[in-house]
Amino acid sequence: MSGTPVLEIDAITVGYGGVPAIRDLSLSVGAGEILAVLGPNGAGKTTTLLAAVGALPLMSGTVTALGAPVDGAVERNARRGVTLVPDTRGVFHTLSVADNLRLAKRKGGGDLDLVYEYFPKLRSMRTRRCGNLSGGEQQMLALAKALLAKPRVLLIDELSLGLAPIAVQELLPRLRSIADDQNMAVVLVEQHIDLALGIADAAIVLHHGRVALAASASDLRNRRDSVEAAYFGRSDQSDVAS
Ligand SMILES: Nc1ncnc2c1ncn2[C@@H]1O[C@H](COP(=O)(O)OP(=O)(O)O)[C@@H](O)[C@H]1O
Ligand SMILES: [Mg+2]
């Protein structure tokens, strides 16, 4: 990992009602880097993202983004450039594509023309009601809305939930070029392991709320068996995260 991390999570334990869901979890992401967060259902991926944006209190550990601690003030963290795309997508179904984007622009102040440049398809669909878009189109819109918040750190929770791999194949490379273009750090929670490893710089695999495996994406592309092992909690992988 190169440069100073723009997001650094150090040994956090976070849970619900006093019961930890993730324990002693650490990760870091630098500017322009994509970190894939993999792991089975219930592993703690969403909890990690919520903690990273200040939406859940930490039982222990620290979260630092852009040189300052991330605390409970989600809106303020968002204004500083720490933006979450939740797995619920956050698009308004009764509004048009253009109105969704206008609202996001008003709130976040980002460059609408640039976002239309990244996603030309959205321009051609701008009068359509979001409720009538395909799943892939809605994901594209959710990503576009998040970019209008001018994120420095973008955290994406299963953008491709319920999507056909073909839609993911279209979206993820686009995310890669936007991260490069904007020098934006990305934490990508993704179920499509190979597609995620295909665009990420590094990856971690969570299992039962802990980091079971952490390595560069290129390393993991060549060691898919280690990824599987960590995914299913088998302990035969060689490098467990420190
Ligand atoms: N709101 C909640 N209240 C209580 N337990 C929760 C809540 N959300 C998640 N959990 C529990 O925390 C653990 C991690 O969940 P989550 O972070 O959503 O996993 P993932 O996103 O990897 O599927 C799971 O055991 C889940 O049941
Ligand atoms: Mg989740």
Between the alpha carbon of residue 14 and those of residues 7, 44, 62, 103, 153, the distances in Å are 17, 9, 11, 32, 20
Amino acid identity at 109: G
State mean pLDDT over 85-103.
88
Tell me which of 21-25, 44-48, 73-77 is least confident: 73-77
pTM of the model: 0.93
Provide the pLDDT for residue 242.
44
State mean pLDDT over 154-183.
88
Question: Ligand 2 centroid vs 16 CA: distance in angstroms?
Answer: 14
Tell me which of 47-56, 191-200, 226-235 is least confident: 226-235
Q: Sign (positive/negative) of CA torsion 200, 159, 57, 15?
A: negative
* Alpha carbon distance 92, 131 (integer Å): 8
Assign domain 1-81+152-242 to a CATH class: alpha beta
DSSP three-state, residue 172: helix
Provide the pLDDT for residue 163.
77
Provide the pLDDT for residue 235.
63
* Alpha carbon distance 122, 101 (integer Å): 10
Provide the pLDDT for residue 3.
64
Using a 6 Å CB cutoff, which residues line ligand 1?
16, 21, 39, 41-47
The rounded percent of the chain whose pLDDT value lies above 70 is 95
Q: Ligand 1 test: best mutation among 47, 160, 210, 232, most atoms within 8 Å of CB?
A: 47
Q: What band does 28 get if pLDDT is binned at 50, 70 and 90?
A: very high
Give the start-to-end residue ranges of the domains of the chain: 1-81+152-242, 90-150
Residue listed under structure tokens 């460059």: 111
Tokens standing for residue 137:
């189109």
Report strand pairing: 202-207 vs 210-216.
antiparallel
Q: Sign (positive/negative) of CA torsion 52, 56, 57, 58?
A: negative
Ligand 2 ion: Cβ-proximal residues, 5 Å cutoff: 45-46
Q: Whose CA is nearest to atom 6 of ligand 1?
A: 16
